[in-house]
Homo-oligomer: A and B are copies of this chain.
Amino acid sequence: MLNFALIGAGRIGKMHAEIINLNPNSKLKFVYDVNQEFAKNVASLSNASVVNKAEEAINSNEIDAVLIASATPTHIEFIKMAAKAGKPVLCEKPIDLDINKVNKCKEELKNIKSPIQIGFNRRFDLSHSKAQQARSKKEIGNLEMIIITSRDPAAPSLDYLNAAGGFFRDTTIHDFDLSRFILGEDPVVQVSAFGENLFDKNAKTAKDFDTAMFILKSKLGVLVHINNSRRAVYGYDQRVEVFGSKGMVISNNQTPNSIERFTSSSTSSKETIHFFFIERYQQAYRDQLESFIEMINSNSKPKVTFEDGRKALIIANAAYESFEKKKIIDISYD
């Protein structure tokens, strides 16, 4: 049984608290949030205690692992605190919006062995991981193209946008990581990026995009397309297509049930797809925690490393550079 400290008790933190308690091998012990009401609420639902300072939880002898779901700018501080306390960390993405801070953190922690896992939950989705296996097991022969469609159901609030750090670093970063996951050893070396503000006034105010498209190129010449939107009226559109010399595998959307309707105007109509990430990636979030627990218990390495988080951010930064310079950008991971 692993006892967890949860740092951050907002929407995502609350979801993680529930998942920790559902897992028979983990228990939520302490909750910290800068907003004490949030912390109390989550703690009461989980039979956990609230602490006033993150240190209290992280450094407690009763704690075996730390889950960081606080605001992005605080991630590095808590990662370092936990790492120095020798506690394994599962930290929500992105590590930080500033690559310099991330690099500095990497340097600081280079001698610390406590494992850090980054929350790219989509790698644990049953369907997406089958698509990855289609590449790694050569089921589709040699990989030639990847097409990732990732569209949110509805645009977020202005507050969210102002804090999130921009469409490419906050949202597309999942797809950059998913591209890396499917590509395996073959690194992304180029990116071309287009961003638009087509419909969302908040995005305009925040000088952010609501619509974007990308092409990535790997060292071996595999081409990857990503398209993103902050609004898809039919639900949270999450598709991955993997194409190679021997075939194609598509990880398609999922509906909450298997009903099909036939009327005088249409046939085979299904329900709208899962509303958003909490519904769509429920299994993935659970398996992410399961994998994190197994990693600790078996003293192995995390399936998604700090370095994975750093590299996804480097691609996002290169995408911004492509957009600004109207160029195809070569990517360096140094």
Contact = CB atoms under 8 A, between A and B. Distances in A.
A127 interface: yes
A127 B257 contact: yes
Given A142-B198, A198-B222, A269-B270, 17 more contacts: A126-B257, A127-B257, A144-B198, A144-B199, A145-B227, A215-B225, A232-B248, A232-B262, A234-B263, A234-B266, A251-B258, A264-B272, A266-B266, A268-B268, A326-B327, A326-B328, A327-B327
Contact of A223 (B213, B235, B247): B213
Contacts of A142: 198-199
A267 B251 CA distance: 14
Given A213-B145, A249-B262, A270 B272 contact: no
A159 interface: no
A117 interface: no
A179 interface: no
A233 B199 contact: no
B225 A227 contact: yes
A223 B248 contact: no
Contacts of A197: 221
A202 interface: no
A213 B225 contact: yes
Interface of A: 22, 126-127, 130-131, 134, 139, 142, 144-145, 147, 149, 151, 190, 192, 194, 196-199, 211-215, 217, 221-223, 225, 227, 229, 231-235, 237, 243, 245-273, 322, 326-328
Nearest to A238: B258
Contacts of A256: 126
A248 B234 contact: yes
A131 B268 CA distance: 14
A192 B248 CA distance: 25
Nearest to A139: B261
A194 B213 contact: no
A129 to B, nearest CB: 9
A259 B131 contact: yes
A262 B245 contact: no
Contact of A247 (B145, B255, B261): B261
